[in-house]
Every structure is written in C-alpha cells, then in structure tokens.
C-alpha cells in the first residue's frame, strides 16, 4: 500500500464514519470494505516495522477530527449557541442584543423629556484549550490493525467533545446563582410539576414555542415525562415506547445519558440540575485547527501521539444569562 | 402544640422554591410565605430536606415548637441568609468550618448565592473566603460530598493588658538606668579606643559613596576627585 493510495482513500470516504462503523461492527458498503482491508494492511505493516514514514496515523486522526468537530452538527450545543470558527491567531468579541430600556415619558406638546438610553454590552470570550496525549503500541497495531487506530480516533473525538460540553455547562451552572429569578429550588430529589411548570414558563416567556430547551440527566427527564395529571394517550404511548417525552409545555426536553463519562470517571451531566435555555444564549467558536503530532518510540515499541490545539471560545454574559434558568433539586 | 392549625412557611431568599405536599404543589416566590398545616409540614420534612437546608423558615415566635415537632434538633445551626452574610463578611475558623461542612448542593448554592450577591454589590470580601467557596464548589462538581479542604487555625495574638504594659515599661526604665550607670563606670578606658572606632564608619561611608557615585559624596574630602565623574 503506497502513501498516495492511503491519501486517496482518506479523501474519498468519511474516515470518522468508517471508524465508528468499525467499532460498532456495522455493515460496510463495498467501497468501505476495500478501504478497511487496505487500511488494515497499512496499520499492521506499521506494527511490524515500527515505521510510519509519513506520519499517516496522525494525518488520519487529524482528518477525522476536523471532519467531525468542525463540520458535523452537534445537536445540543447548536441549540444553545451561535456556532462558528475563528482562526488560530484571531480574536473574537461578543455583542448581546441590548435590553430595551427606552422610556416613553408623558410630555407636553412641543416640550422635551429626559433622554433614556440603551446599553450595548461587549463581552470577551473565554478561551479553553484541551489536549490529549496517548500511546499506541506496535503490538496493538499488529494484533488489531486498523481497528486500533479507529478506536483511538473515535475515543479521542468523543472525549474532546464531551469535555467541551462539560466546560460549557459548568460555565452556565456557574453564572446562575441562588437569589436570581432564574434559579428554581426544587425541594424533592426529582423535578415536580410545580418546578417544571415554573421552568417552562420562564423559557416560554423568553423564547418562541419550540425554541426553549430543557437539558438534564435522563433520570430527571424521565421523571418529568411521567408527571401525572394531564397525560394524553399519545403521551402515554410515547413514554411507554421511548421512556421520555420530547417536549414539556412546548419546550424541547433533551436527556443526557448518565452513562456517558469522561476519561477520569466523572459524569458529563452534573447531578441535581436541570438547565433551561431559551433560544441562543451566546457564541461558541472553534479556534484554529486540531494538530496531531506523532513520533515512533522504537525502544518502548510504541507510537506517541499528541492531539493538540483543540481550542474553543465561548461567550455569554449576565444579559444573555437571563435566557437561561436552572432547577436545583435537593 | 400551638392552638392554630396553620403555620407560616417563609422563603427568605429571592429565588423561587417549589414544594410538593401530599395533595398539591406550591411555588413560593422569593420573600413570600404560605400557610401550611402540621401534617403538610411533617410530610414535607419527611420527603425533602427543605427545612434542614434553610430553603424555608418559620415565623420566629413559633419556630422552636415547630422544629421540635419535626424533630430537627439542631435548628439553631441552620443558617439564615443574614447569618451567611455575616460568615462571609466576618470570617472565622468556625464559620468557615460550617461552610465547608455543608453536604447538600441546594444548601451550598445558598451560600454561593449570597457570596455572588455581595460581590455584585461591590462589598470587599476576604480572598480566603472566596477561595474556600470556589474550592468547595469544585468538590461538589466532582461529586465529593465530604470536603477534603483543611483549614489551619491561627491563634490571635492577644494585646497585653494595661498592668502588663506598666510592668514592662518599669522594667525598661530600670534597665536604662543600669546601662547608663555601666557606661559611666566604663567611660575612662573606652576613650582610648575612640578614634579607631570612629574611623571605621567613616571609611565605610567612603566606599559606599564610591559605589553610589552620588554628588552627595562631596562632603568627604577624599571623595572630591570622584564627584565630577558622577556628574558626567
């Protein structure tokens, strides 16, 4: 297998999809099957010789990452943020649509009244940079071939995306504090009709129907789906089939699995919280491109991989924070 | 127990608190209060930590009897918002221990809420208090219910009393007199050594001045040649 052939392959197929299909043992199309066969030979050859001459593995992961992270839609984050990309050396600045604070005074004809103003606030984004370093042993490459590269690619992408989600949610969690109107304290351990109504009303007041989103752990969405009272037969059917309802009072409900964990074992979705987002609350930009570096370590019989420059910046401030709410359960 | 059937339950905070009793649910807005029967209070206390976390309080006159009935014996330790404010503004070892000891997120969010409120109001807050609250929040995020934060106790230095000050100043006066007597007694043999003692600081001054190359060095006769150099 020559270098040009691998490059051609990577150009003609979605490498991330191929990696996912390999891990899930899904059926390949004819093209994909030939691609996997050649990729398998290629990976095993690296395992045998310990030489990845053109740093193909790194190039492969880079391509998969850039395909998936910068081009693929990400349902939850797309609902919450204006997504975009900025260059590695560029800087961004966020603007919120200002509150309408103009006052219409009662006036005598021909007279003057006090001026009133609107305040356009600028907010600087918070930039985070995440990085993964790992090893891929020659033995692993010889044994599993292409699959070892596929697993590494898919896992790295999943962790980077999850970490970004965690960072953003933590920032949202941080900005809503007790004492504000958008902090709803729920006395019990799961959401009740009272608190869900309160949250839904808060979101409906600030967003069009269908634009409000409630995001929480699946356990809380399940509890909210099964609230007794006004369930129609359709709703009962939906809960029985899927376990969750898709909407609550016109607000989308998005469950996040409690089984999704970060590499260190912590759970992606924080406990005791339900977040409500009314429309877009700010911007989330990917900054620059991911770079993957690689070096063969012959003495330790492995390839060292460094997945660097996964940089993103998010921006929202107290004005846009009014479009978010959270329920905190006891 | 009290003669009335209904007891006032008050939300002292400014965020809404949602409670669900056996029959119905209530959402108590910030600063508002609703009347509940003892059965409802017992049900609420059995199913939720809402009274133990200080999300809801009772009227001051009847709180002792109600807490007794609900078997919440440490009710005096439940922090009101004014207590939290006090803990943050006037931090003490015991006060911070109380904040760290909180094991419920909804209780801790009350502390954080007051803290953020004070910062937004422009109040000057001790950095250590802010650090403790931020660190504890990080622990909650990592599901660490029992805190690993260690505080070290600093014993305040007590100011000496008036009697101690008087005793000490008397002692100093006595020592001063003693030193004067001693120097008078030994003044005769000291005289001989005086010139050499005086010359040492003078020589030192010269070298200091040479290093600094300041115009002030003109004072000493030996420094004269170097003075214009400094000016250049």
End-to-end CA distance of chain B: 95
Residues of A in contact with B27 (CB under 8 A): 194-195, 197-198
**pTM more than 0.80:** no
What is the rounded distance in angstroms from the CA atom of residue A24 to the CA atom of residue A147?
11
Q: What is the pLDDT of residues A60-90, one digit of tens each?
A: 888 888 878 776 667 888 888 888 888 888 8
Which of A185, A200, A324, A328 has the highest number of chain B CBs within 10 A, making it the mutation to test binding with B? A185
What is the rounded distance in angstroms from the CA atom of residue A259 to the CA atom of residue A268?
9
What was the pLDDT predicted at A294? 92
Residue A252: Cβ within 10 Å count: 16
Q: Is the pLDDT of residue A257 over 90?
A: no
Say if the Cβ atoms of A272 and B16 lie within 8 Å: no
Q: Which helix (H) or strand (E) holds B167?
A: helix B162-185
Q: Could you give the 3-state DSSP secondary structure of residue B50? A: coil
Strands B17-20 and B33-37: unpaired
CB proximity A167 to B under 8 Å:
no
* Residue A158 token pair: 């999943």
What was the pLDDT predicted at A307? 93
Radius of gyration of chain B measured on its C-alpha atoms: 35
Q: Which helix (H) or strand (E) holds A327?
A: strand A324-329
Q: What is the pLDDT of residues A142-182, one digit of tens each?
A: 998 888 988 998 889 888 988 898 898 888 998 898 888 89
Which of B109, B119, B144 has the highest number of chain A CBs within 10 A, making it the mutation to test binding with A? B109
**Mean pLDDT throughout A172-198?**
90
Say if the Cβ atoms of A330 and B50 lie within 8 Å: yes
Q: What is the pLDDT of residues A274-292, one digit of tens each?
A: 999 998 888 888 888 889 9
Q: Is the pLDDT of residue A299 over 60?
A: yes
Task: Judge if ipTM > 0.90.
Answer: no
Say if the Cβ atoms of A194 and B20 lie within 8 Å: yes
* Residue B142 token pair: 């990592």
Q: Which helix (H) or strand (E) holds A62?
A: helix A56-65
The Cα-based distances of B172 to A180, B164, B169, B183 in angstroms read: 61, 12, 5, 16
- Residues of chain B with pLDDT below 70 are 1-4, 188-232
The per-residue pLDDT of chain A, averaged, comes to 86
What was the pLDDT predicted at A94? 73
* Residue B188 token pair: 């005769």
Residues of B in contact with A173 (CB under 8 A): 141
Candidates B48, B32, B54, B60; CA nearest to B114 is B54
Which member of A179, A186, A267 has the closest CB to residue B113?
A179
> Which residue does chain A place closest to B54, by CA atoms?
A187
Q: What is the pLDDT of residues A208-244, one digit of tens each?
A: 666 889 999 989 999 999 887 777 888 888 888 888 8
Strands A212-217 and A251-256: parallel
CB proximity B105 to A under 8 Å:
yes
Q: Could you give the 3-state DSSP secondary structure of residue B34? A: strand
What was the pLDDT predicted at A70? 72
DSSP 8-state symbol, B30: T
What was the pLDDT predicted at B4? 58
What is the rounded distance in angstroms from the CA atom of residue A156 to the CA atom of residue A73?
18
Residues of A in contact with B79 (CB under 8 A): none
| Cβ–Cβ < 8 Å for A222, A256 | no
| Cβ–Cβ < 8 Å for A289, A88 | yes
What was the pLDDT predicted at A54? 85
């Amino acid at each position: 297998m020559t270098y040009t052939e691998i490059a051609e392959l990577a150009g003609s197929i979605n490498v991330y999809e191929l990696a996912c299909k390999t891990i899930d043992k899904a059926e390949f199309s004819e093209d994909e099957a030939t691609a996997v066969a050649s990729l398998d030979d290629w990976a095993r050859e690296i395992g045998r010789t310990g030489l990845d001459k053109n740093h193909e593995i790194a190039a492969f992961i880079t391509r998969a990452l850039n395909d998936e992270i910068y081009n693929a839609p990400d349902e939850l984050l797309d609902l919450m943020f204006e997504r975009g990309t900025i260059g590695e050396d560029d800087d961004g600045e966020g603007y919120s649509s200002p509150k309408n604070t103009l006052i219409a005074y009662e006036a005598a004809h021909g007279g003057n009244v006090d001026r009133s103003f609107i305040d356009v606030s600028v907010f600087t984004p918070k930039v985070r940079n995440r990085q993964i370093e790992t090893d891929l042993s020659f033995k692993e490459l010889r044994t599993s071939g292409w699959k070892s590269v596929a697993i590494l690619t898919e896992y790295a992408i999943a962790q980077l995306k999850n970490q970004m989600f965690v960072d953003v949610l933590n920032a949202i969690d941080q900005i809503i504090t007790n004492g504000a109107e958008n902090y709803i304290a729920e006395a019990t351990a799961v959401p009740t009709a009272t608190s869900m109504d309160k949250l839904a009303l808060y979101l409906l007041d600030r967003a069009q129907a269908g634009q409000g989103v409630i995001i929480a752990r699946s356990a809380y969405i399940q509890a909210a789906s099964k609230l007794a009272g006004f369930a129609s037969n359709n709703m009962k059917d939906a809960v029985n089939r899927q376990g969750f309802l898709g909407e609550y009072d016109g607000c989308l409900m998005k469950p996040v699995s409690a089984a999704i964990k970060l590499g260190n074992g912590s759970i992606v979705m924080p406990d005791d919280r339900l977040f409500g987002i009314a429309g877009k609350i700010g911007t989330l930009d990917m900054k620059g491109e991911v770079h993957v570096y690689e070096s063969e370590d012959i003495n330790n019989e492995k390839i060292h991989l460094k997945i660097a420059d996964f940089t993103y910046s998010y921006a929202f401030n107290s004005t846009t924070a009014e479009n978010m709410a959270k329920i905190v359960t006891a | 127990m009290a003669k009335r059937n209904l007891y006032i339950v008050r939300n002292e905070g400014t965020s809404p608190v949602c409670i669900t009793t056996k029959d119905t649910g209530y959402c108590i807005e910030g600063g508002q209060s609703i009347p509940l029967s003892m059965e409802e209070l017992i049900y609420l206390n059995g199913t939720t930590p809402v009274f133990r976390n200080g999300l809801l309080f009772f009227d001051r006159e009847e709180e002792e009897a109600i807490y007794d009935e609900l078997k919440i014996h440490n009710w005096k330790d439940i922090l009101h918002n004014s207590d939290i404010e006090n803990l943050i503004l006037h931090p003490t070892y015991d006060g911070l221990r109380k904040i760290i000891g909180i094991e419920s997120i909804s209780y801790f969010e009350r502390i954080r809420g007051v803290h953020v409120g004070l910062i937004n109001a422009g109040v000057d807050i001790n950095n250590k208090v802010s650090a403790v609250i931020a660190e504890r929040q990080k622990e909650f995020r990592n599901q660490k219910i029992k805190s690993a934060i260690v505080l070290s106790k600093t014993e305040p230095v007590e100011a000496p009393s008036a009697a101690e000050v008087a005793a000490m100043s008397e002692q100093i006066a006595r020592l001063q007199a003693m030193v004067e007597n001693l120097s008078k007694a030994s003044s005769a043999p000291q005289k001989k050594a005086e010139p050499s003692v005086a010359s040492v600081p003078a020589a030192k001054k010269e070298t200091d001045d040479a290093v600094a190359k300041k115009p002030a060095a003109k004072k000493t006769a030996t420094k004269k040649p170097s003075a214009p150099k400094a000016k250049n």
